[in-house]
């Protein structure tokens, strides 16, 4: 059985101060970004279906490692959620690339390495 390995390491983005025009780097919280995409009102999840998506968001938020292995069905759900949102900024591009380019892995191998990530 196959799954996808998703990089959860935070990254830095450059923002410009709207008042002074100064540029500064800020940390982009990948887990929070993914959870917000999955549970966004733009998704228009109906009723109790929202709970399925919230479970995936919580799984990502609680994961301690720098990467997480998602089952193919979980990855497909995340991929659809990313594609359903409009209004992304340039700061979100790295996050979207990580989802789009997540490498495929064997779930059996992933389970054997679970404690090492």
In angstroms, rounded to a whole number, what is the distance separating the alpha carbons of residues 75 and 56? 9
pLDDT at 21: 77
Q: Would you kindly state where each structural domain of the chain is located, as residue ranges?
A: 2-116
Angle made by CA atoms 3, 102, 42, in degrees to the nearest 5:
95
**pLDDT category of residue 32 using cuts at 50, 70 and 90:** very high
Instruction: Give the global pTM.
Output: 0.84
Collapsing DSSP to helix, strand or coil, 43 comes out as: helix
Tell me how far CA of residue 82 lies from CA of 19, 38, 86, 102, 116, in angstroms.
Answer: 31, 7, 9, 13, 28
pLDDT at residue 45 is higher than 60 = yes
pLDDT at 56: 98
**pLDDT category of residue 42 using cuts at 50, 70 and 90:** very high
* Residue 67 near residue 5 (C-beta atoms within 8 A): yes
Q: What is the mean pLDDT of the chain?
A: 91
In angstroms, rounded to a whole number, what is the distance separating the alpha carbons of residues 98 and 5? 9
Please choose, from the candidates 78, 77, 66, 68, the residue with its C-alpha nearest in 3D space to the C-alpha of residue 103: 68
């Amino acid at each position: 059985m196959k799954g996808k390995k998703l990089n959860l390491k935070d990254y830095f983005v450059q923002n410009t101060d709207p008042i002074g025009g100064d540029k500064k780097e800020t940390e982009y919280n990948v887990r929070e970004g993914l959870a917000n995409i999955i549970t966004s009102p733009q998704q228009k999840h109906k009723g109790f279906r929202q709970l399925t998506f919230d479970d995936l968001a919580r799984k990502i938020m609680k994961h301690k490692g720098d990467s997480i292995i998602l089952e193919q069905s979980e990855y497909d759900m995340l991929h659809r959620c990313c594609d359903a949102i409009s209004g992304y900024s340039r700061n979100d591009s790295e996050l979207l690339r990580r989802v789009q380019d997540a490498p495929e892995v064997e779930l059996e191998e992933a389970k054997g390495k679970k404690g090492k990530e």
